[in-house]
Structure 1
Amino acid sequence: MSSSSVRRDQAPEIDLVLDPAKPRAILEFALERNSVLAAIRSSENLVEDPCDAHPYLLKAANFHGELTTRECPVCETQPLVELRYVYGKELGPYSGRIKSKFELDQMAYRHGNLKVFVVEVCTGCSWNYLIRSYAIGDGRARKPLRRSRDWLD
């Protein structure tokens, strides 16, 4: 069998990742955020209310948010908290959960490719904004996690 007849899709492609915990493919949403804040300050009519955090997002911010040193840009009285949502095929039913920086550092070495979305939230005025997204992981594809059996199963 010649090397040209070997199918390329037999082995998963592996990206070389030197530091799985180091964020890569970083997207910052600062310009868009600044334009929304400028519209708020100039009293323009916005299509959406920028201080419309869902009650579950506010509850998550209260219990799982990581406090920052930044002040809310809208009410200017409350400190902002950050939530990190992690997604990935490998996580299966556990995709979309909130994780701390520490947990993400550990997960980066156990999973191939995870996407992290960082949301800033003000628990005072309900300001919320997606500020950053990035990828972490060691680049090796793995099978998705399975949902653990429940007593109802």
Structure 2
Amino acid sequence: MWSQRGVVDYGLAKRATVQSLRSGRTTRNDVCDAHPYLLRAARHHGEPTKRPCPVCERHNVTHVTYVYGDQLGRSAGRVKTSSDLVEMAREYQEFRVYVVEVCQGCSWNHLTVSFVLGTDTPPGSTGADGRTAEKT
């Protein structure tokens, strides 16, 4: 996305968790502990991927995307789709996005990436494109 910034990739933490599981230092119950609400969000609002679960390797993981930000009001903490993010990035000054991968088969879940989206232009001021930001 064009306004994506402040990206934090949790790939190393994921690899460490999976390695800990495979080496026997961590049990499957320790890492396959998705909350029922997260599993429900994955089932009804998640975006399927073609990547297999790193634990059970039988199911593909689903991405569940949450948004948080002061300007979001009642939308803060809600699940959004990628297409929703494109619209929101044009509408709001700044908000943080968290993408969690979830296996609906074994309940594996892990935060994969977080980043900031938005116009980065305070409401009522002129942005880099010369347009005035809408007040929200």
TM-score bracket for this pair, using the shorter chain length: 0.7 to 0.9
1:65 is matched with 46
Alpha carbons 1:21, 1:109 under 8 Å: kept: no
Runs of 5+ consecutive residues of structure 1 not aligned to the other structure: 1-19, 146-153
Task: Report the Cα offset of residue 21 of structure 1.
Answer: 4.4
Runs of 5+ consecutive residues of structure 2 not aligned to the other structure: 124-134
Matches for 1:2-41 after TM superposition, within 5 Å: 21-41=2-22
1:50 is matched with 31
Alpha carbons 1:21, 1:104 under 8 Å: kept: no
For residues 93 and 78 of structure 1, the distance between their equivalents in structure 2, rounded to whole angstroms, comes to 33
- Runs of 4+ in structure 1 off by over 6 angstroms are none
For residues 75 and 27 of structure 1, the distance between their equivalents in structure 2, rounded to whole angstroms, comes to 26
Provide the secondary structure at the position in 1 that maps to 2:66. Answer: strand
Say which of 115, 137, 141 aligns to 2:118: 137
Report the structure number with the largest CA radius of gyration: 1
* 2:71 maps to amino acid: E
Task: Report the Cα offset of residue 65 of structure 1.
Answer: 0.7
Task: Report the Cα offset of residue 106 of structure 1.
Answer: 0.4
Alpha carbons 1:26, 1:134 under 8 Å: kept: yes
The TM-score, its normalising length taken from structure 2, stands at 0.85
Alpha carbons 2:95, 2:117 under 8 Å: kept: yes
* 1:82 maps to amino acid: H
1:92 is matched with 73
For residues 5 and 83 of structure 2, the distance between their equivalents in structure 1, rounded to whole angstroms, comes to 17
* 1:79 maps to amino acid: N
Provide the secondary structure at the position in 2 that maps to 1:141. Answer: coil
1:122 is matched with 103
Q: Is 2:64 the counterpart of 1:83? A: yes
Alpha carbons 2:66, 2:97 under 8 Å: kept: yes
C-alpha RMSD over aligned residues: 2.0
For residues 101 and 58 of structure 1, the distance between their equivalents in structure 2, rounded to whole angstroms, comes to 18
For residues 22 and 93 of structure 1, the distance between their equivalents in structure 2, rounded to whole angstroms, comes to 22
* Greater share of helix: 2
Matches for 1:102-117 after TM superposition, within 5 Å: 102-117=83-98
Q: 1:72 to 1:114 in 2, by over 3 A?
A: same
